Structure 1
Amino acid sequence: MAREHGGRCDVIVVGAGAAGLACAADLSAAGLAVRVLEGSDRVGGRMRTDRHLGFLLDRGFQVFNTSYPQVRRRLRLRDLRLRAFTPGVAVHTDRGRLLFTDPSRRPREAADLLPGRLASARDLAALGVLSARDMLLPARVLRRGQDTTTLTALAAAGLSGDIVEGFFRPFLSGVFLEDELETSSRFFHLVWRSMLRGTLCLPAEGIGAVPAQLARLLPEGVVRTDAPVRELTAYGVLLDDGTETAAPSVVVATGPEAAARLLPGLTVPETRTVTTLYHAAERSPLAEPTLLVDARRRFLNTVVLTEVHPGLSTDGRALVSTSVLGVPGPEEETAVREALAEVYGTDTGAWEPLRTCTVPGALPAMPPPHPLSRTSRVTPGRYVCGDHRATGSLQGALASGARAARELLADHRRTARA
């Protein structure tokens, strides 16, 4: 076994996703010598963007929320050149397409919020109270609330089955990657708050621009790609090439499956899998950057990404993204294309399939009671972070990385004083 020598190394971070990069940034800022080892050829983990057949394709449909506290703390939003979605969601129903929009941002487009269209007057009043509460209360109050399922919380808020089935279930299925609304109500309230307070966007260069910026903010030479870790050792980590890299502390910042392999005995949650179908169309089937969901739930959501940013295509064709739960077979993909023809009101037969992107473990399952943050400490000198240790979001990943750095630094100082 070869030992790698390259100067002092206090901490090895395994994985260059959002959590690992945040952890490395905080440890480096505190003066520790950090090395980040990433198994693939680029940073980002699940937040990756590829150039494919003249299009920029994310590894599964993702959005960027500007209201997350960790995002505001760590990222230079102007450098991401963000492009915004419509502040609302279009719902395809048996009565046609209805727009569920934020009336405070686009009052002229709020006609579908009149009683009797998307919802009754009673439901609209209950929704207004729910939204005002989540938007205005301090986040710490929402975090301490009773944790039930989202479905139970919506009923407790006075929302009828009509609006739950007509809007919340179709919309939130794409947010939580589950269609039973069994996700933690505390997480739902925090997500709803973030949507009301922030803007949903895409970086001009795709979602991969986010971890790329985080990596650029680290000292030069900290991140090493194409360095898959086989196992942890008494001295540090053993790479697949047989090289052992030594450090007194190791942070595992991978997905839950890899974390459980590297840290035997670690308890990890179940995860949700999502598949995104990318198609190219000669012309845009919807001339607006609006997320579209289906009341019949034949897919999670669909959007014309080139309406959000035309630069995602180099030849002028429209880029359509559609996501579904799990891994669809050929017959299911055909059914989705037929549903898209109805939803968009156009012939989809000539649409070119660009890529079918399945993301296993895209989000952790978060049924109640769900702790919004877990300790990173596993054993002395061994730590773990990632959205599976917090909440399934960019905020959760970054916050988990920050917590791992805080706990590691506290242990490091105690050891130094001993």
Structure 2
Amino acid sequence: MLEPAEQADVVIVGAGVAGLSAALQLTRAGVSTTVVEAAPHVGGRMTTEQVDGFRLDRIGRLLSTSYPELRRTPGLEGLPLCAFAPGVLVHSGGRVHRTWEPGTARGATPATRRSARGARSARSALTAARTLAGAPRVPLVSRPQRPFLGSAFDQARLGAALTRLAVTPVERLLKRPELPAAQALLARGLPARTVDGLLRPLLAALLCDPGLDTSSRCADLALRSYARGRMCVPEGGAGTLPALLAAALPPGTVHTGVKAVEIATTAVRTADHGELPCRSVVLATGARQAAELLPGLRMPSFHAVTVLHHSAPRPPLAEPALLLDADRGGPVAHTAVMSEVDPTRAPAGRALVSSVVLGPPPDEDDVRAHLSGLYGTSTANWELLAVHHDQEAVPSMPAPHDPRRQVRLLAGLYVCGDHRDTSTVQGALHSGRRAAHAVLDDFGLAPRNDLRTVPVAA
């Protein structure tokens, strides 16, 4: 139980991945820290529920093996990641086209437990994949005779663009001229067919923005991660990641079911647990909750996300691939047989199909019809397990967007979250690190360097 008179150097409000990341940085530097969370569990939006032996993520966010914070954050040394098959599958013109990534020269994981099985089927075509000498390899189209991304020259331009992004330092990307992502991609000479055929559905999966109104700098960061690594998910569900972060903190650090109602630089007042005195406060809630506790804090707009989970008697696709819909022929933006990516998410003998709709919950008959067309099979005997909708799932990042917004509001008061960085798991973890470093700097302490050498993804 949380004692009202208990005093810590820092109180962190919110036990999502940003708040837990900040708490780990502070405790490892010797700063006593208390984390309070209004919900009965840690993780914020990054949670997993269990239904009849299935593990269902509430918001289907993808990670990348190239995310630096997965290597830098304490507690994630043993994070098991399940990788998708290299590249993606794209449904376009009534057919499914395969893109793949011949290999990665960069991009590492804390612990990739299993390699994607679909990669073996593509090895026979790897000799046709051309990459720049010494540069990270990038996705190429497996069927050049049917150029859904344009001509061979267009595909070469796409490969060169992704390769340049892969080797460009992040700080240089953040200094580029800023436009809406769709305009920037076309301005770089990429044909509309390439943008609409691959980059638009791919960025919709990575950033939850089908309109590509996102800042071109943030889109470049997402494509850079894609070109340098592999898309992946935590084994056992999204909730595995925040659970590992919480477990790495000293016992008694995190207190769930404690709602903060007022904050100041030296105290947090809670609804039922009194006032918690401290030297500094870090606000690590979602954007709306942060604006309620700190009136005047800028409130971003959001991308709504709906995730539908279906149980199927057999996998409609026998490989761990992400399937994108370039035609936008229905409500589903992307879908995957998640039990092929991570077998722990479904009981033996059943398949779990998770599909993401970028918007409000659609009619389920429309979803079934769309999935039937995407997978080329009947969905009549699929069972709907759950529908998770979040109207404020992902903060939008329209141009101009500052992915390094100030985390230090004033001495003793700090704020972090994906709404202060990029709207990704990487952004949330990184903003927590930045907030903790700002606190340590004001305390006159030095942060620990937790960069680890880890194996390259298979």
Please state which band the TM-score falls in when normalised by the shorter chain.
over 0.9
After superposition, the CA RMSD in angstroms is: 2.0
- Aligned residue number for residue 124 of structure 2: 108
Answering whether residue 90 of structure 2 is matched by residue 91 of structure 1, we say yes
Work out whether residues 47 and 208 of structure 1, in 8 Å CA contact, stay in contact via their aligned partners in 2. Answer: yes
Match of 2:376 among 311, 333, 345: 345
- Closer/same/farther in 2, CA of residues 235 and 405 from structure 1, 3 Å limit: closer
SS of residue in 2 equivalent to 1:408: helix
Instruction: Provide the C-alpha distance between the structure 2 equivalents of 1:272 and 1:262, rounded to a whole number of angstroms.
Output: 22
Instruction: Provide the C-alpha distance between the structure 2 equivalents of 1:373 and 1:313, rounded to a whole number of angstroms.
Output: 38
- Closer/same/farther in 2, CA of residues 144 and 201 from structure 1, 3 Å limit: same
Instruction: Provide the C-alpha distance between the structure 2 equivalents of 1:347 and 1:412, rounded to a whole number of angstroms.
Output: 61
Which 5+ residue runs of structure 1 have no aligned equivalent? Answer: none
Q: Which runs of 4+ in 1 moved over 6 A?
A: none
CA deviation profile, 1:118-140 (whole Å, cap 9, x unmatched):
32122112102211110112222
Shift of 1:268: 2.4
CA deviation profile, 1:181-217 (whole Å, cap 9, x unmatched):
1111111111111111122222221111111111122
Give matches, 1:305-324, under 5 Å.
Answer: 305-324=338-357
Instruction: Provide the C-alpha distance between the structure 2 equivalents of 1:234 and 1:189, rounded to a whole number of angstroms.
Output: 36
Shift of 1:63: 2.2
Shift of 1:13: 0.1
Instruction: Provide the C-alpha distance between the structure 2 equivalents of 1:233 and 1:129, rounded to a whole number of angstroms.
Output: 50
Instruction: Provide the C-alpha distance between the structure 2 equivalents of 1:139 and 1:108, rounded to a whole number of angstroms.
Output: 34
SS of residue in 2 equivalent to 1:80: coil
Instruction: Provide the C-alpha distance between the structure 2 equivalents of 1:309 and 1:3, rounded to a whole number of angstroms.
Output: 41
Which 5+ residue runs of structure 2 have no aligned equivalent? Answer: 105-121, 126-139, 446-458
Answering whether residue 84 of structure 2 is matched by residue 51 of structure 1, we say no
Instruction: Provide the C-alpha distance between the structure 2 equivalents of 1:65 and 1:340, rounded to a whole number of angstroms.
Output: 25
Work out whether residues 308 and 388 of structure 2, in 8 Å CA contact, stay in contact via their aligned partners in 1. Answer: yes
SS of residue in 2 equivalent to 1:10: strand
Identity, in percent, stands at 42
- Closer/same/farther in 2, CA of residues 49 and 323 from structure 1, 3 Å limit: same
Shift of 1:233: 4.8
Work out whether residues 258 and 273 of structure 2, in 8 Å CA contact, stay in contact via their aligned partners in 1. Answer: no
Answering whether residue 274 of structure 2 is matched by residue 243 of structure 1, we say yes
Match of 1:402 among 427, 430, 433: 433
Instruction: Provide the C-alpha distance between the structure 1 equivalents of 2:301 and 2:198, rounded to a whole number of angstroms.
Output: 26
- Aligned residue number for residue 134 of structure 2: none
- Aligned residue number for residue 223 of structure 1: 254
Answering whether residue 303 of structure 2 is matched by residue 272 of structure 1, we say yes
Answering whether residue 67 of structure 2 is matched by residue 68 of structure 1, we say yes
Work out whether residues 375 and 403 of structure 1, in 8 Å CA contact, stay in contact via their aligned partners in 2. Answer: no
Shift of 1:343: 1.2
Instruction: Provide the C-alpha distance between the structure 2 equivalents of 1:317 and 1:205, rounded to a whole number of angstroms.
Output: 16
Instruction: Provide the C-alpha distance between the structure 2 equivalents of 1:308 and 1:117, rounded to a whole number of angstroms.
Output: 28
SS of residue in 1 equivalent to 2:88: strand
Counterpart residue type for residue 239 of structure 2? G
Deviates more, 1:157-166 or 1:111-120: 111-120
- Aligned residue number for residue 11 of structure 1: 10
Work out whether residues 89 and 100 of structure 1, in 8 Å CA contact, stay in contact via their aligned partners in 2. Answer: yes
SS of residue in 2 equivalent to 1:277: strand
Work out whether residues 75 and 213 of structure 1, in 8 Å CA contact, stay in contact via their aligned partners in 2. Answer: no
Counterpart residue type for residue 90 of structure 1? L
TM-score (norm 1): 0.93
Counterpart residue type for residue 320 of structure 1? V
Answering whether residue 199 of structure 2 is matched by residue 168 of structure 1, we say yes
- Aligned residue number for residue 302 of structure 1: 335
SS of residue in 1 equivalent to 2:211: coil
Answering whether residue 257 of structure 2 is matched by residue 258 of structure 1, we say no
Instruction: Provide the C-alpha distance between the structure 2 equivalents of 1:111 and 1:140, rounded to a whole number of angstroms.
Output: 30
Shift of 1:156: 2.1
When the two structures are aligned, how many residues end up with a matched partner?
A: 410
Shift of 1:95: 4.2
Instruction: Provide the C-alpha distance between the structure 1 equivalents of 2:13 and 2:201, rounded to a whole number of angstroms.
Output: 36
- Aligned residue number for residue 287 of structure 1: 318
Counterpart residue type for residue 382 of structure 1? L
Counterpart residue type for residue 217 of structure 2? R
